[in-house]
Amino acid sequence: MKSQVIQSFGEPSVFQYKEISKPELKPGHVLVQVKATSVNPIDTKVRAGAVPAVAPELPAVLHGDVAGLVCAVGEGVTDFKIGDEVFGCAGGFKGTSGGALAEFILADVDLLAHKPKNLTMEEAAALPLVSITAWEALFNRAKLVPGQDILIHGATGGVGHIAIQLAKWAGAKVYTTASSQEKLEIGTLLGADTTINYREESVNDYVQKYTNGKGFDLVFDTVGGENLDRSFEAAALHGTVTAIAARSTHDLSPMHSKGLSLHITFMLLKILNEDMHKHNGEILKKVAKVVEEGKLRPLLDSKVFTFDEVSEAHEYMESGKAIGKIVLKNDW
**Which residue range(s) make up the domain with 161?**
130-264
- Per-residue pLDDT, 247: 84
Pair 159, 75 in one domain: no
- Per-residue pLDDT, 246: 86
Pair 246, 162 in one domain: yes
- Per-residue pLDDT, 99: 98
Pair 123, 135 in one domain: no
- 99 vs 126: CA distance, rounded Å: 15
- Digit-coded pLDDT (tens) for 115-128: 999 999 999 999 99
Query: Per the structure, how many domains does the chain have?
Result: 2
Pair 155, 238 in one domain: yes
> Which of 113, 132, 116 is CA-nearest to residue 124?
116
Pair 27, 59 in one domain: yes
Look at residue 188 and tell me if it is in a domain.
yes
- Per-residue pLDDT, 252: 93
- Per-residue pLDDT, 140: 96
- Digit-coded pLDDT (tens) for 84-102: 999 999 999 999 989 999 9
Give the residue ranges of the chain where pLDDT is below 50: none
Please list, in sequence order, all residues whose beta carbon lies within 8 angstroms of the beta carbon of residue 29, skipping any fewer than 6 positions away.
Answer: 74, 77, 97, 106, 107, 108, 109
- The CATH number assigned to the domain holding 102 equals 3.90.180.10
> Which of 101, 66, 100, 99 is CA-nearest to residue 85?
66
Identity at 65, one-letter amino acid code: D
Pair 242, 299 in one domain: no
Pair 210, 102 in one domain: no
Pair 122, 150 in one domain: no
- The CATH number assigned to the domain holding 229 equals 3.40.50.720
At residue 126, φ and ψ (nearest 5 deg) are -80, -15
Look at residue 283 and tell me if it is in a domain.
no
- Per-residue pLDDT, 115: 98
Pair 258, 314 in one domain: no
Instruction: Let me know if 163 is exposed, middle or buried by CB neighbors in 10 A (0-12, 13-18, 19+).
Output: buried
Look at residue 218 and tell me if it is in a domain.
yes
Pair 99, 225 in one domain: no
Burial pattern 83-117, b for ≥16 Cβ within 10 A else e, equals ebbbbbbbbbbbebbbbbbbbbbbbbbbbbbbbbe
- Per-residue pLDDT, 52: 95
Pair 215, 245 in one domain: yes
Q: Are the C-beta atoms of 23 and 59 separated by less than 8 Å?
A: no
